[in-house]
Amino acid sequence: MSTHLPEPRLTRVYRLDATLGEPLELGETAQGHRRIVPLTGGTFAGPLIGHGKLVPGASADWQTILPDGTAVGDIRYTLETEGGAVLYAQSRSVRHGSAEVLERLARGEEVDPSEYTFRAATEIQTSDVTLDWLNKGVFIGVAARAVAGVIYEIYLVA
């Protein structure tokens, strides 16, 4: 038996440009500062699934902000393809960087994504038979905070 394992390859599945609503601040808890940030709309496109829209009212980021400014996200969103397929995505994310950069992000300033790290592990579910491969995939995401929204690029790990 060979002990050499294949290196993973990444294939971009889609890019989601989402708009954000006003956060609901829960305040300080034993786990950190909690807030819920609604994803209020947006569009996605990708070479393997086509394009479509984010479903508002069924999408939000349940965040925990740690004392050092790191944001840990539980992001759940619903997408609908132009063909009518509905996708449910859930990501566990972490966004961290220097104190100065995180303060700029907190103020809503535009910050170059190369100045901080924003990554996610994502699971996707669908009942659409043509997209059933999504149910079996392992996905990672690279993300960036924009002034009025957030951008997620989701990749299949092969």
Encode pLDDT of 23-65 as tens digits. 999 999 999 999 999 999 999 999 999 999 999 999 999 999 9
| Cα–Cα distance measured from residue 82 to residue 33, given in angstroms and rounded to the nearest whole number | 37
Residues of the chain above pLDDT 70, percent: 99
pLDDT value at 132 more than 90:
yes
Q: What is the pTM of this model?
A: 0.92
Distances (CA, A) of 133 to 21, 104, 123: 32, 39, 12
CATH architecture of 10-157: Beta Barrel (2.40)
pLDDT value at 1 more than 70:
no
| Cα–Cα distance measured from residue 27 to residue 64, given in angstroms and rounded to the nearest whole number | 10
Averaged over 15-24, what is the pLDDT?
96
